[in-house]
A = this chain, B = another copy of it.
Amino acid sequence: MDEVFKALADASRRSLLDRLHARNGQTLNELCEGLAMTRQAVTKHLVILEEANLVTAVRQGREKLHYLNPVPIHQIGERWIRKFERGKLAALSELKRQLEKRDE
């Protein structure tokens, strides 16, 4: 879980996920195109994404194809985001109440 959050914390990595979401199964070189970063830097990001299970890579000949694995993102949505959405209205109204109390 922590690895997933950490992996998502970097904008470059999120953009890599975006690219894979737009077109799945891209090679390393394809993922490097147009980025202001060396291939090695992209490799490091992809390793982190793989370790977080957000990306699965398949070596095919001399190319390495990268596939998005949406499961961990889904899990974060399920186990984390929704938990906080439940108490949402209550939390907001209490916050509002306190902010008003401050101005008395």
Contacts and interface: CB of A to CB of B under 8 A. Distances in A.
Interface residues of A, number: 40
Given A81-B74, A92-B70, A99-B58, A11 B21 contact: no
A24 B88 CA distance: 11
Given A77-B77, A81-B77, A91 B24 contact: yes
A98 B21 contact: no
Interface of A: 2, 5-6, 8-9, 11, 14, 17, 21, 24-25, 56, 58-60, 65, 67-71, 73-74, 76-77, 80-85, 87-88, 91-92, 94-95, 98-99, 102
Given A77-B77, A81-B73, A98-B67, A87 B25 contact: no
